[in-house]
Amino acid sequence: MSGSEADLIARYFAVDEVSRDDVILGIGDDGAVLRVPSGKELVVSIDTLLAGVHFPHDTDPASIGYKAMAVNLSDMAAMGAVPAWATLSLVLPEKNHDWLKAFSRGFFELAHQFNVQLVGGDTCRGELAITVQLHGFVNTGEFLRRDTARPGDLVYVTGVLGDAGLAMLIKKYKHKLRQKDYQYLSGRLDRPFPRVEAGQSLRGIAHAVIDISDGLASDLGHILASSRVGATLFIDKIPISPVFASCKDWLDDGMTWVDLAISYGDDYELCFTIDPRNQNMLEQQLLNTPYTCIGEITTSPGLHCILENGEAFIPRSAGYDHFSGM
């Protein structure tokens, strides 16, 4: 770190919003020194966010900071991990004090809520790119994974799907909406709430877990491919919000609402599979998180979407692909 770089980190990010006992040496040296509790395994995830890809160009910096933390917390959730430490690499076009102040406020809002300490950082000048790595703990052998779904499992999602995609479309086409509804959808796009608590509750219950970042069809597809199974998805069971439901007619003008709900992504809900015999246990464990059964795992490979009338539905796209058409 050079002089002004160190100043920048010190000024905006070394503010000790969270101070954990397991951080032996935090920001300010060549590396952080950290202590993993005995009996725990370390879980790490890394995600980069770019303007125009992971958030609209006009997103306020506080929401960018919030989302950079949220998408990584969502990975921790999908692993059943308790988040602990973060590192941040910030590529910035300029040193804009207001931007940095707002960004760090959003970043630390979630960090504080989940007791995550920022232990390292790097900044340099270039096209805006935000990379966060999170570190968390699970009891030895208790982490959740995506490659362990079994035929006969029920498929669930937390929360509702499609709001983030709808928010993007509404911004893009400048669709008129009641102020309250617009705010709800923007919040779902800009400030997804990571299902960290739900992820931890799923340990010992769920067979396979993934977070929905690229769309249900794509992410459930990862569970299926890595578990070497298939699934039947009941389209009429897909949970959507009242605001989303109120926009269905507008949506079906250009693209079907189903495609938006299952193929758009950015929802950061969890998708998981459980043995049907564990339904009661699920009810007892997942007290604070809404969830819905949307399908079942099959032996025949692939994702088969079924409409209420029994007809097959073919999703238009298989989720967000950063290198599609390249």
Which 6-35 positions form the footprint of a copy of itself (CB under 8 A)?
Answer: 6, 8, 24-25, 28-35
Site string for a copy of itself, 152-191 (x = CB under 8 A): ----------------------------------------
32 within 8 A of 87, measured Cβ to Cβ: yes
DSSP at 117:
E
Q: How far apart are CA 93 and CA 52, in angstroms?
A: 15
Phi, psi of 310 (to 5 degrees): 90, -10
CB of 311 to a copy of itself, least distance (A): 26
Token pair 């076009």 in the structure block, residue: 93
For a copy of itself, which stretch binds (CB under 8 A), given 68-76, 173-181, 184-192, 301-309?
Answer: 68-76
Residue 314 within binding range of a copy of itself, rule CB under 8 A: no
- Non-local CB neighbours of 281 within 8 Å, separated by 6+ positions: 205
Within 38-67, the residues that bind a copy of itself by CB under 8 A are 38, 41-48, 50, 53-54
Closest CA to 42 of 152, 150, 134, 156: 134
For the CB of residue 125, give the shortest distance to a copy of itself in the complex, in Å. Answer: 5
DSSP labels for 90-115?
EEESS--HHHHHHHHHHHHHHHHHTT
- For a copy of itself, the binding residues in 216-255 under the rule CB under 8 A are 218, 221-222, 226
Task: Work out whether 267 is an interface residue with a copy of itself (CB under 8 A).
Answer: no
Measured distance between the N- and C-terminal CA atoms of the chain, rounded to whole angstroms: 35
For position 200 contacting a copy of itself by CB under 8 A, the verdict is no
**Does 269 interact with a copy of itself (rule: CB under 8 A)?**
no
Residue 326 CA to residue 322 CA, distance in Å, equals: 9
Out of 18, 70, 79, 282, name the contact with a copy of itself by CB under 8 A: 79
Among residues 1 and 255, whose Cβ is nearest to a copy of itself?
1
Q: What sign does the dihedral 293-294-300-302 (CA atoms) show?
A: negative
Can residue 195 be called a binding residue for a copy of itself (CB under 8 A)?
no
CB of 284 to a copy of itself, least distance (A): 25
Is 2 an interacting residue with respect to a copy of itself (CB under 8 A)?
yes
Q: Which is nearer to a copy of itself, 41 or 109 (CB)?
A: 41
Structure tokens at 159: 């929360």
Q: Which residue number, 124 or 307, has a Cβ lying nearer to a copy of itself?
A: 124
Site for a copy of itself in 93-152 (CB under 8 A): 94-95, 119-127, 129, 131, 133-136, 138, 140, 143, 145-147
User: What is the gyration radius of the CA atoms in the chain, in angstroms?
Assistant: 20
161 within 8 A of 212, measured Cβ to Cβ: yes
